[in-house]
Structure 1
Amino acid sequence: MGKADEIIKSMAFHNQVLPEDIPKIDLYIDQVIQLFETSFAESKRYPDEKILTKTMINNYAKGKLFYPVQNKKYSRNHIMLISLIYQMKSALSINDVKQVLHGINEKAAQKELDLEQFYSSYLNLQQGNAEIFEAGLKRQSEEAAEQVAGADESEELERVLLIASLVHTSNLYRRAAEKLVDEMAKGADTNG
């Protein structure tokens, strides 16, 4: 259980671009990058890791992952969409992210969706996910320790089992998300 607590303490669950952190004025690309660097600084794996780059944002724009910007400035809605893209791209392909956000983008561009309300709902779910993760990590850590109890080099074996278990859990969640994306794509094909 101690290992799980150490991991949880070292993770920055609270790192997020919050609506109140987003200025009420439109931002240039360098300002958007700085906002993300500041918001996610504690969650970097390596100090020189880049959270977001101009190239990434330009590729998202070219790939139509968010609706077009005006006068090279990014609105609050663009920043919230970029935050969603940033979170999703670690588990889904860029094409899947585009599929997922397509309807949200259209509604936000047409001002048919209060994107801030939607984004706040996402952040609320994220908070609950952190609690579920903590409980699951503690359980997986305990189970890994039980599996190797009394074995030689049990600490290393326990760590490898825990890593393998976490990767498996991650894969299960990713595959579930991909299934939902595939259902969205099928629904779009039959509706289009």
Structure 2
Amino acid sequence: MADIKKLTEDLALEKTILLEDIPKIDLYIDQVIQLFETSFEETKRTGAEKILTKTMINNYAKGKLFYPVQNKKYSRNHIMLIHLIYQMKSVLSINDVKQVLDGLNERAEKEQLNLESFYESYLHIQQGSIASFKEGLGRQAELAEKEGAAIEDPNELEQVLLIASLVHTSNLYKRAAEKLVDDLVERRKSR
């Protein structure tokens, strides 16, 4: 069975972009990419993997996933929004990400929202999610070990059971997130 403590360490779950990591000056696209690459380097599955590219950022801009930049420079608010996009895009469709962030973008652009306070709340919830994940992963590993004990070649099959269990849990969370996106869109339509 996989060493769960080592697995959670290898995942670099605590890697994120804190407010204090974001410069107080506007950044060019290459500087934004470097900030993300440096911050999430340990989370890459392979060395060749790219965290963020110019094409990705330009596609987010074209798709209006964040409000327009000024003079080809990205503000702290843009970086916070790009971080939210980065986190959401691996689970939600780009259209769903846009739907989620539309109201946030509108308020941030009109300066009707302190995006830094919102972002701090997000980071706080993120830390709680990491703790819950570690507990849940431990429980799922114990269940896979228990269920796999009666099977031939338990090490590999226990790991397959754990992988299948994690994928299932991931799908449950994804479906819940998609349902919440749909509810958010419906609420906006009824205003």
CA-CA distance at 1:152 after TM superposition: 1.4
2:3 is paired with a residue whose SS is helix
Determine if contact 2:2/2:159 at 8 Å carries over to the other structure: no
* Counterpart in the other structure of 1:124: 124
Alignment of 1:6-155 (within 5 A): 6-155=6-155
* Counterpart in the other structure of 2:168: 168
Query: TM-score, normalization: structure 2?
Result: 0.98
Determine if contact 1:65/1:97 at 8 Å carries over to the other structure: yes
Determine if contact 1:3/1:141 at 8 Å carries over to the other structure: no
Q: Write the deviation string for residues 12-46 of structure 1: whole angstroms up to 9, x where unpaired.
A: 11211111011110000000000000000110000
Identity of aligned pairs, percent? 66
1:24 and 1:103 mapped to 2: Cα distance? 24
1:49 and 1:23 mapped to 2: Cα distance? 25
Q: Write the deviation string for residues 51-88 of structure 1: whole angstroms up to 9, x where unpaired.
A: 00000000000000000000000000000000000000
1:40 is paired with a residue whose SS is helix
Aligned residues: 191
1:169 and 1:143 mapped to 2: Cα distance? 14
- Unaligned runs of 5+ residues in structure 2 are none
CA-CA distance at 1:141 after TM superposition: 0.3
Q: Write the deviation string for residues 116-136 of structure 1: whole angstroms up to 9, x where unpaired.
A: 110010000000000000000
Query: TM-score, normalization: structure 1?
Result: 0.97
* Counterpart in the other structure of 1:5: 5
2:171 and 2:2 mapped to 1: Cα distance? 25
1:104 and 1:45 mapped to 2: Cα distance? 31
1:143 and 1:80 mapped to 2: Cα distance? 38
- Unaligned runs of 5+ residues in structure 1 are none
**Alpha-carbon RMSD:** 1.0
1:24 is paired with a residue whose SS is coil
2:49 and 2:164 mapped to 1: Cα distance? 25
